[in-house]
A and B are shown apart, each in its own frame.
Chain A
Amino acid sequence: MDLTPLLDGLYGIPLLGILFQAIGYLVAAIPSNGSNILNQATPLALAALCGVVCERSGVVNIGIEGTMLISAFTAWVVGIAVNPMFGNPAPGPVFGATLPLLICVVAAVAVAILVSALHAWLTISLRANQIISGTIINIFAFGITGYLDQLISKSSPAGAGSFMAFTPPEALVNLPVVGWIFAMFLNQGPLAMSMIILVIGLQIWLFRSRWGLRTRAVGEHPRAAETVGIDVLRLRFRNVLIGGVFAGLAGAWLTIEATNSFQIGMTAGRGFIALAAMIMGRWTPLGAFGSAILFAVFVQVSQLIKIAPPEGDLGTIMGSVPAQLWDALPYILTIVILAGVVGRSIPPAADGQPYEREAAA
């Protein structure tokens, strides 16, 4: 069936036609960029999971951005140090994984847990302001990674390379209609794939397990949770550390899956966009994942418009916007969504409030 006459007709309508053109452009662009979109969504979704685990138990973690940055740097530096020890191994058969790369991931996660422990200690044990603590972590992360990067980059060392994407069988990808979905989910590196598993796992864990019930209880009404015998402070501490695992994976994605190098400030606000995704996903793992995908679509489209702008009136309009402004599209979208959705999105009741034991006061 040839849709051209129909589309030409629709696109010809003033104003409304431009909307049709935009939809047509997205419909054409999204499937062919499916795996890029999921790839871009990976750090957002992982960081949003970190936010979900923390905030469901009542701790706001705005230091995700900094945590990601430090673990991204760690993954890169550990790669530089470890790779020669193992004799610079060739990429392995599965995901191009090598022992040094796996060590990088472990190191990134470990450092992220350490940074999260600092946040947990400041906010839970000392009851410091959670936003101030997170901001300090962000300033520290930017400073320490920038400082060490300046020193290390002088000798422009080689890292441990990066993971490679899995190549799904041609027959699967070339299936009509659904082939692009297989490409989107299977043509991915190990961190992106583990993200999908983690999202589903956390969704079940949060809503179907004892730990999940306790977490939600502590986030809604810590005093009541304490009266039934839940150790509020310990549970919050543990949740913030678990959140660190997700932030660490998100950071590792930046330097050993998406790229194989480190740049100063390379998180580029992803930690904050992830928080918006978490809010938009109403503090649920699956919702956060969906929002992360939406953001990734806009990141991808904002890049695509610069390379292959749509044709027709829409293209003319888009072409008149300076290229640099398209970079701002995901950020503008974040604000619009925050302003539009947050009113109907209700946070855990005790989110952001330090908990003080009655006996301890």
Chain B
Amino acid sequence: MSASTPSAPRPQPGLVARAWARLAIPLVVTVLAALVGAAIILVSELLVPGVEFSWTLPITAYQALLEGALGSPEAIVSTLANSAPLVFGGLAVAFAFKAGLFNIGVQGQFLLGALGAVIVGVWVADWPPILAIPLATLAGIAAGAAWGFIPGFLKAVSGAHEVVSTIMLNYIAVALLAALVSGPLKVPGSPSPVTFDVGNAAWPVILGRIGHIGIILAPLAAAFVWWLLRRTTWGFQVRAVGANPDAARYAGMRTKRITIGTMAFSGALGGLAGTCVLLGVTHTMTSGFGTTVGFDSIAVALLAGSEPLLVLPAALLFGGMRAGAGLMQIKAGIPVELVDVLQAVILLFLVASPVLRRLLHLNTARNEPATPRATNMVPDVPV
């Protein structure tokens, strides 16, 4: 995605014009998505029997959404805490994108990461935190990496497309988790399937009531992934394979090995997302453990154009929406699933941004691709 250097010197537009060219698409897309969301709310009022129609319901809903995300110090901490796993998951998807791989399996890696963290976390629950926390965290990362390794290995060895195999692994992860939590991991005598608490392995809270250290780890992880991609040989190879696998192979890179390594590292980040939720928030695991992090991560990575540092604001946007959704449901009676719709609509407008650019007369389009372009981000191998 570094093709932003224009070949010929061009007259520099003014600061305002440049800022507009950069921010226009994200702003317009967000506003349009909000409008579509409002339209959906209004239409759904008509569809549902027994609800009194009110024109102001979308405003009430968005007010509650904003209040729940930013309205108080506690809400802001909640937004940050909700964003942290999205940063890890978004980085997982973005990193795989860089190598031309589409990791839809963050959900499964997330679950495996949480599973690894809870297994080791319960085991070391009585150890001193200085040992327990890193051990449980590393276990989560390792479990996620293992789950990411499988599709990478299959892709490299037999050509099985990672999109289908990662999705299948998501479902397998759900079954595995349910089997373990209601079997060997279950607290004996407990009426419902739930594991022991991770005790001392829980991530410490540093901000407010729920602000765990994931809030600090997330930007660090983003910086690390940026450094890895931009400043290391391996990162260069990953990008080279993503840009042109044939050229990378002719240059002597072991593309299959890089594919496997990329998926394992991506899985490790996905596992860290699960670890973050388990050790930072829930501390125990039920058989229904699972959040929307996996699929939100794909949205985050797409919104960030797969740039590690842009993953942070993108995760804040979607994390804020998740944080505020609860209050929106309470105050306006709008189901939290509206957030999924808004995410999809934002992405839809992003993908359709060439049309928006034409409508807005933005001719600087080539400078800054907002989403991964078809030709170089995802391999041409069919599903």
Chain A residues close to B by CB (< 8 Å): 55, 60, 62, 122, 126-133, 135-137, 139-140, 142-144, 146-148, 150-152, 154-155, 268-269, 272-273, 275-276, 279, 322-325, 327-328, 331-332, 334-335, 338-340, 342-343, 347-348, 351-354
> 0/1 per residue, B167-184, Cβ < 8 Å to A?
111111011101110110
Q: List 10 A-B contacts (CB under 8 A).
A: A55-B383, A62-B383, A131-B102, A146-B335, A152-B47, A269-B168, A269-B170, A279-B161, A331-B168, A339-B165
Q: Are A147 and B335 in contact (CB under 8 A)?
A: yes
Across the interface, B378 reaches (CB within 8 A) one of A131, A146, A322, A342, namely: A131
Contacts of B371 in A (CB 8 A): 128-129, 132
Q: Are B351 and A148 in contact (CB under 8 A)?
A: no
Q: Are B172 and A331 in contact (CB under 8 A)?
A: yes
The smallest beta-carbon distance between B349 and chain A, in angstroms, is 10
Q: Are B164 and A328 in contact (CB under 8 A)?
A: no
The 5 A-B residue pairs with the shortest CB-CB distance, nearest first, are A143-B340, A140-B344, A150-B335, A146-B337, A328-B175
The smallest beta-carbon distance between B338 and chain A, in angstroms, is 5
The smallest beta-carbon distance between B293 and chain A, in angstroms, is 13
Closest to B45 in A: A151
Q: Are A351 and B382 in contact (CB under 8 A)?
A: yes
| B222 at the binding interface (Cβ < 8 Å) | no
Give the one of B48, B338, B374 with max A CB within 10 A.
Answer: B374
The smallest beta-carbon distance between A305 and chain B, in angstroms, is 14
Distance in angstroms between the alpha carbons of A334 and B164 in the assembled complex: 9
Contacts of A60 in B (CB 8 A): 382-383
The smallest beta-carbon distance between B200 and chain A, in angstroms, is 29
> 0/1 per residue, B123-136, Cβ < 8 Å to A?
00000000000000
Chain B residues close to A by CB (< 8 Å): 40, 44, 47-50, 102, 104, 150, 154, 157-161, 163-165, 167-172, 174-176, 178-180, 182-183, 295, 298-299, 302, 335, 337-345, 347-348, 351-352, 354-355, 371-375, 377-378, 380-383
Given contacts A131-B102, A272-B164, A272-B167, contact A139 B377 (CB under 8 A): no
Distance in angstroms between the alpha carbons of A334 and B163 in the assembled complex: 12
Q: Are A129 and B372 in contact (CB under 8 A)?
A: yes
Distance in angstroms between the alpha carbons of A133 and B345 in the assembled complex: 11
Contacts of A144 in B (CB 8 A): 40, 337, 340-341, 344
Give the one of A130, A142, A272, A273 with max B CB within 10 A.
Answer: A272
Q: Are B168 and A334 in contact (CB under 8 A)?
A: yes
Q: Are B382 and A347 in contact (CB under 8 A)?
A: yes
Contacts of B183 in A (CB 8 A): 322
Q: Are A122 and B168 in contact (CB under 8 A)?
A: no
The smallest beta-carbon distance between A93 and chain B, in angstroms, is 32
Q: Are B383 and A132 in contact (CB under 8 A)?
A: no
Across the interface, A150 reaches (CB within 8 A) one of B158, B299, B337, namely: B337
Closest to A264 in B: B337
Across the interface, B171 reaches (CB within 8 A) one of A137, A328, A343, namely: A328
The smallest beta-carbon distance between B380 and chain A, in angstroms, is 5
Distance in angstroms between the alpha carbons of A354 and B341 in the assembled complex: 27
Closest to A337 in B: B160
The smallest beta-carbon distance between A31 and chain B, in angstroms, is 28
Q: Are B179 and A324 in contact (CB under 8 A)?
A: yes
Given contacts A139-B298, A338-B165, contact A151 B347 (CB under 8 A): no
Contacts of B335 in A (CB 8 A): 146-147, 150-151
Q: Are B372 and A132 in contact (CB under 8 A)?
A: yes
Distance in angstroms between the alpha carbons of A110 and B341 in the assembled complex: 21
The smallest beta-carbon distance between B326 and chain A, in angstroms, is 14
Given contacts A129-B373, A275-B383, A328-B171, contact A335 B341 (CB under 8 A): no
